[in-house]
Amino acid sequence: MYGPIPQSMGRAIIKTRPKLKLIKYIKNTASGLCPACGEGILFLNWFTMKEKCDTCDTYFIEKNGDNWFFLVFIDRAFFIFPVVVMLYFSISKLYLIILSFIIILIFIFSTPLRLGISLAFDYYMRTKIAKE
């Protein structure tokens, strides 16, 4: 009566798990691809995100400023927090300036990655709300 689960059913169950979808979206956007189909290119240039996917016509940002929360959270966690920790532990001013400069460079060069990850979270929340 309760025999083994067929392979097709097992795959269907795995595909509907929300955490796995979020991981898929993050992998796609971190690679610079559309979170929905994983094929369309996400960016026009280093700092500019496309309006929608060329392949599946998914809008990346439906309203201007939709992903600000996720972007602010990522920025504070990876860039502001280390500076606060350095100030708290009274690191030498020279080291503080050097490390702050390095953090600013990382901040600039990781812009597509940060925008992509914030888009992945935003897209995940939009699809989750749309299903409910």
Query: What is the per-residue DSSP string for the chain?
Result: ---PPPHHHHHHHHHT-HHHHHHHHHHHHHTTB-TTTS-SB-BSSSS-B-SB-TTT--BS-SSTTTTHHHHHHHHIIIIIHHHHHHHHTT--HHHHHHHHHHHHHHHHHTHHHHHHHHHHHHHHHHHHHHH-
Whole domain around residue 98: which residue ranges?
7-131
Q: 0.85 exceeded by the pTM? A: no
In the numeric block, the tokens 């009566």 are attached to 1
Bridge partners of 43, per DSSP, are: 49
Token representation of residue 52: 């929608």
Residue 112: count of CB within 10 angstroms of its CB = 19
Does the pLDDT value for residue 5 go beyond 50? no
Residue 1 covered by a domain:
no
The mean predicted confidence, pLDDT, of the chain is 80
**50, 35 contact by CB (below 8 A):** no
Looking at the 3D structure of the chain, how many domains does it have? 1
Q: Is the pLDDT of residue 84 over 80?
A: yes
* Percent of the chain predicted with pLDDT > 70: 82
Residue 81 lies in a domain: yes
Whether 2 is in a domain gets the answer no
